[in-house]
Amino acid sequence: MKTLIAIPVFNEQRYLRKVLSEIRLHTRADLLVIDDGSTDATADILRTMPDISVLRHGRNMGYGQSLIDAFDYSSRHGYQWVITMDCDEQHEPAALPDFLAAAEADNADIISGSRYLLSQSRKDEPPMDRRLINQLITEVINRNLNLNLTDSFCGFKAHRVSAMAQLDLCEPGYAFPLEFWVRAAQASLRISELPIRLIYNDPDRHFGGRLDNPNHRLRHYLNVFFRALHSNECQQSLAAG
């Protein structure tokens, strides 16, 4: 099973080398880093790692665009599965063998990490606005798409590459999951969830711009969701709504 691990990054010099090294402890799968226009030392660090493939955006294009580019890369290079994960130490590389085993089982097209299938200690709770928005959006997605998700925003996922090629995805920003779940449901893809540990080691991280306002962020997510739900056309929008 030819598998790619794809990691979108933006100014992650603090975590990059450690996360990539830990990934190597758990899998020998190929690694792709999508450098989304970083302005710190991220590019310099990546140049010291010749065994890692890199896609670099000349400017910051958004989290969703990084994932879209990862899907396209995995398709063009003949991968069967692509596993996406973040680079801020909130997704544990130790969980990679679980995703690989679930992909090998071959009974799903999307294996989505869920931070809410396991009991968590209070110290691991995310900021209240993020938890509430995730909960509300997950309920909206389940009700409108007849899904049974517990965590609609987790970026730690295994994706069948041939299934991703069926989806018309264009949402470039943090609202990418809203369009993603609509297109996955419309394509009748098989979805399962895999429990992962909830980790929030930097609750002060921000989205940037107007999305730092929880009310605006929620409205933006809902707008992207219902626009995708009622249109079969890819309508690209700005990350800030």
Place of tokens 């997510």: 221
Contact (CB, 8 A) for 108 and 190: yes
Q: Pick 233 or 114 by higher pLDDT.
A: 114
Q: For residue 33, what are the CA distances in angstroms to 76, 81, 104, 115, 207?
A: 16, 16, 23, 23, 20
Residue 163: name the closest of 180, 184, 181, 142 by CA. Answer: 184
Local structure of residue 149 (DSSP, 8 states):
-
121-165 pLDDT per residue, tens: 555 566 677 789 999 999 999 999 999 999 999 999 999 999 999
Share of the chain above pLDDT 90, in %: 77
Full-model pTM: 0.92
Q: Out of 3.40.50.1240, 3.90.550.10, 2.40.50.140, 3.10.20.30, which CATH number does the structure's domain 3-229 have?
A: 3.90.550.10
pLDDT given for residue 129 in this prediction: 74
Mean pLDDT of the 172-182 span: 97
Give buried/exposed letters for 109-131 (b at 16+ CB in 10 A, else e): bbbbbbbbeeeeeeeeebeeebe
Question: Does the pLDDT of residue 241 top 60, yes or no?
Answer: no
pLDDT given for residue 139 in this prediction: 97
d(CA 200, CA 198): 7
DSSP H or E run through 163: helix 161-164
φ/ψ (deg, to 5) at 152:
-85, -10
Q: Pick 124 or 172 by higher pLDDT.
A: 172
Pick the most confident of 4-18, 117-131, 221-235.
4-18
Share of the chain above pLDDT 70, in %: 90
96-123 pLDDT per residue, tens: 999 999 999 999 999 999 998 876 655 5
- When pLDDT is cut at 50, 70 and 90, the band that residue 206 belongs to is low
